[in-house]
Amino acid sequence: MIVRDFDEIIKTDRDRVVSDARWTSVRMLLANDGMGFSFHITFLEEGSEHTFEYKNHFESVYCMKGTGSITDLATGETHAIRPGVMYALDKHDRHILRAEEELVMACCFNPPVTGDEVHQPDGSYAVPKEA
Amino acid sequence: MIVRDFDEIIKTDRDRVVSDARWTSVRMLLANDGMGFSFHITFLEEGSEHTFEYKNHFESVYCMKGTGSITDLATGETHAIRPGVMYALDKHDRHILRAEEELVMACCFNPPVTGDEVHQPDGSYAVPKEA
């Protein structure tokens, strides 16, 4: 059994805390935990806007705190984000995520993120090394 | 892109809301969503105690609200549960989960739950039909 505490990770396990332009992600589970998915708590800064396209991953994102919106760039449709709303990128959907207030999101990735990925210019993560 | 709202599911999509003795689980994502994992928001009643052993699944559980504890029945070790604590059953660990206050948990299952499982007497879910 793995037990991890968000507050302890923030204080003592900074390798699990990854930041990029106006977002921070705390990796509670990564590929080497052997669960077959990774699990992250991700913060998006108030007023920020992000274009992502996880070409090589499925991702689900559950809003725990904050408000914003997501636009599906294939359809142009925009959905409000507030606590309790989840979106799942079952078609590796290219999208824009906007944080009106700071967003705090619980994210699952399949295949699991290894922790070594960087966002590529197209908004994707590279294919996992294991693939 | 799949977008689902917890509040709407509670009101209009009761097939996604599953209850058993002193717990309720809202299935935000199931196997047929094609993500390769399922994602549930699960409530465990204040004062309740549960013995689970997911022999056929990996499960991670992130505490969003409430306090309690988990005991690993292989080692006898007990860990406090509070918001920000996650446990991951990477060895299909048989365990007792106790809710001192109502617990609200974000849960990921691999393989994904189909929605048709019932807890078996040993605390497990059956092997998914797809397997």
Q: What is the pLDDT of residue B125?
A: 78
Q: What per-residue confidence (pLDDT) applies to A131?
A: 42
Task: Look at residue A96 and tell me whether its pLDDT is greater than 70.
Answer: yes
- Sign, CA dihedral A6-A93-A113-A109, equals positive
Question: At CB < 8 Å, which residues of chain B contact A?
Answer: 1-7, 28-29, 33-37, 39, 41, 58, 60, 62, 64, 70, 72, 74-75, 79, 84-91, 93, 95, 106, 108, 110
**Could you report the per-residue pLDDT of B50-89, keeping only the tens digit for each?**
999 999 999 999 999 999 999 999 999 999 999 999 999 9
ipTM value greater than 0.90: yes
Residue A70 has pLDDT above 70, yes or no: yes
Q: Is the pLDDT of residue A72 over 80?
A: yes
Query: Which pLDDT belongs to residue B131?
Result: 42
Residue A48 lies in a domain: yes
Residue A86 falls inside a structural domain: yes
Q: Work out the mean pLDDT of chain B and round it to a whole number.
A: 93
A1 occurs within a structural domain? no
Q: Is residue B89 part of a domain?
A: yes
Domain boundaries, position A69: 6-106
Q: Is residue A10 part of a domain?
A: yes
Distance between A114 CA and the closest CA of chain B, angstroms:
16
B2, B85, B110: residue with CB nearest A87 = B2
Number of domains composing chain B: 1
Provide the mean pLDDT of chain A: 93
Decide if A117 is inside a domain.
Answer: no
State the CATH number of the domain containing residue A78.
2.60.120.10
Is residue A30 situated within a structural domain?
yes
Tell me whether residues B85 and A60 touch, CB distance under 8 A: no
Residue A126 domain flag: no
Edge-first strand order for the sheet with A58-65 is A17-20, A23-29, A38-44, A103-110, A58-65, A85-88, B2-5
**Closest by CA position to A87, among listed B12, B107, B29:** B29
